[in-house]
Amino acid sequence: MIIVMKPASTAKQLSAVVARVESVGYRTSLIKGEETTIIGVIGDDRPIDRTQFETLDGVEKTLPVLKPFKLASRDMHPMDTLVPLNGHKVGASKVVFIAGPCSVEGRTQILETAHAVKEAGATALRGGAFKPRTSPYSFQGLGEEGLQYLAEAREATGLPVVTEAMSPEQVPLVAKYADVIQIGARNMQNYDLLRAVGKVNKTVLLKRGMMSTIEELLMSAEYVLAGGNTQVMVCERGIRTFEKYTRNTTDINAVPVLKQLTHLPVILDPSHSTGKWEYVTAVARAGIAAGADGLIVEVHQNPSEALSDGAQSLKPEKFAQMVSECRSIALAMGRS
Ligand code: PEP
Ligand code: MN
pLDDT digits (tens, 9 = 90+) for 210-229: 999 999 999 999 999 999 99
- Please list all protein residues whose beta carbon sits less than 5 angstroms from ligand 2, which is an ion: 102, 309
Amino acid at 108: T
pLDDT at position 147 is 98
**One domain for residues 262 and 301:** yes
**85 pLDDT exceeds 90?**
yes
pLDDT-derived band at 322 (thresholds 50, 70, 90) equals very high
Gap between the Cα atoms of 101 and 128, Å rounded = 8
103 Cα nearest atom in ligand 1: 3
Residue predicted with more confidence, 34 or 75: 75
Please tell me the residue having the least CA distance from ligand 1 atom 6. 184
Amino acid at 306: A
CATH number of the structural domain spanning residue 280? 3.20.20.70
In a domain, 77, yes or no: no
Residues in Cβ contact with 5 at an 8 Å cutoff, skipping those fewer than 6 apart: 13, 14, 17, 36, 37, 38, 39, 58, 59, 60
Q: In 120-170, which ranges are continuous DSSP H helix?
A: 144-157
Residue predicted with more confidence, 179 or 31: 179
Residue 121 burial by Cβ neighbours in a 10 Å radius (0-12, 13-18, 19+): middle
**One domain for residues 134 and 256:** yes
In a domain, 250, yes or no: yes
**One domain for residues 30 and 147:** no
Gap between the Cα atoms of 307 and 60, Å rounded = 58
C-alpha 184 to ligand 1 mean position (Å): 5
pLDDT-derived band at 11 (thresholds 50, 70, 90) equals very high
pLDDT at position 35 is 84
| Mean model confidence pLDDT for the chain | 96
**pTM (2 decimals)?**
0.95
pLDDT at position 36 is 86
- Judged by its nearest atom, the ligand closest to the C-alpha of residue 309 is 2
**Residue 214 — φ and ψ, nearest 5°?**
-60, -40
The region, left, alpha or beta by phi > 0 then psi within -120 to 50, assigned to residue 91 is left
Gap between the Cα atoms of 142 and 123, Å rounded = 24
Q: Which of 13, 32, 63 finishes a domain?
A: 63
**One domain for residues 59 and 111:** no
In a domain, 234, yes or no: yes
**One domain for residues 241 and 143:** yes
Gap between the Cα atoms of 201 and 230, Å rounded = 9
Residue 301 burial by Cβ neighbours in a 10 Å radius (0-12, 13-18, 19+): middle
Q: What is the mean pLDDT of residues 170-189?
A: 98
Q: Helix, strand or coil for residue 31?
A: strand
Q: Of the ranges 53-57, 74-78, 97-101, 266-270, which one carries the lowest mean pLDDT score?
A: 74-78
pLDDT at position 43 is 84
**One domain for residues 59 and 105:** no
Gap between the Cα atoms of 223 and 143, Å rounded = 26
**One domain for residues 165 and 313:** yes
CATH number of the structural domain spanning residue 19? 3.30.70.1140
In a domain, 69, yes or no: no
Say how many domains are in the chain.
Answer: 2
In a domain, 75, yes or no: no
In a domain, 35, yes or no: yes
**66 pLDDT exceeds 90?**
no
- Judged by its nearest atom, the ligand closest to the C-alpha of residue 296 is 1
pLDDT at position 133 is 94
List % helix, strand, coil for the chain (3-state, nearest 5).
40, 20, 40
**One domain for residues 221 and 287:** yes
Residues in Cβ contact with 171 at an 8 Å cutoff, skipping those fewer than 6 apart: 165, 181, 193, 196, 197, 200
Gap between the Cα atoms of 299 and 308, Å rounded = 11
C-alpha 185 to ligand 1 mean position (Å): 6
**247 pLDDT exceeds 90?**
yes
**207 pLDDT exceeds 90?**
yes
Ligand 1 site, residue 128, Cβ cutoff 6 A? yes
**Of 239, 176, 173, 163, nearest to 204 (Cα)?**
163
**Of 288, 240, 298, nearest to 267 (Cα)?**
288
In percent, the amount of the chain with pLDDT more than 70 equals 100
**Residue 60 — φ and ψ, nearest 5°?**
-90, -50
In a domain, 219, yes or no: yes
**One domain for residues 54 and 112:** no
In a domain, 73, yes or no: no
pLDDT at position 31 is 86
Q: Probe ligand 1: pick from 102, 208, 240, max atoms within 8 Å of CB?
A: 102
Q: Fill in the DSSP letter of residue 106.
A: -
**Domain of 29?**
2-63
**One domain for residues 130 and 215:** yes
Ligand 1 site, residue 272, Cβ cutoff 6 A? yes
Ligand 1 site, residue 207, Cβ cutoff 6 A? yes
**Of 185, 180, 184, 163, nearest to 229 (Cα)?**
180
**One domain for residues 50 and 105:** no
C-alpha 246 to ligand 2 mean position (Å): 14
Gap between the Cα atoms of 132 and 106, Å rounded = 18
Q: What is the mean pLDDT of residues 259-267?
A: 98
pLDDT-derived band at 246 (thresholds 50, 70, 90) equals very high
**One domain for residues 175 and 39:** no
pLDDT at position 119 is 98
Gap between the Cα atoms of 28 and 10, Å rounded = 17
